[in-house]
Amino acid sequence: MSNINWAALQLAAKHASEQAYAPYSKFPVGVAVLAQSGKIYTGCNVENASYGGTVCAERNAIGAAIVAGERKFDALMVYTPQAQLTPPCGICRQVIAEFFMPDAPVASCNHLQQQQTWSLVELLPAAFTPTYLANSTKVDGNT
């Protein structure tokens, strides 16, 4: 996907991280997703004192795009202001698999201008996806 403007995604993800609500972990995360329409949507992590109520930046960005009517995406960029590049967590990988093609690039960048890119299938091999459900056989008359 050579038509991806990675610099624009990095900047959008960095700006989103500045809005993160991370008083517990002190780990602000920003994400930018590129919809197939060409629009960029962002999200940040929003923590909660009940840690299970925390919502990751990836899911917030995808959710914002879904609210706007988007359903298909070409790329995702995670920004964290630390030296270690951070890929999405497991639950976010599953949500990404719902809306991205297996070869879609998922990237991480940081304040040091470093970037690493993976394909979704590298991050979540043999993902449980809508395609899997559509191709599954019925058992007992149920899907």
Catalytic choice (47, 58, 70, 98): 58
Selection from 118, 141, 113, 31 nearest residue 76 by Cα = 31
Q: Is 58 a catalytic residue?
A: yes
Report the Cα–Cα distance between both ends of the chain, in Å, rounded: 35
Reading the block at residue 48, the tokens are 């909660």
Cα 3 from Cα 104, distance rounded (Å): 13
Instruction: Specify which residues 103 forms β-bridges with.
Output: none
- Which residues are the active-site residues? 58
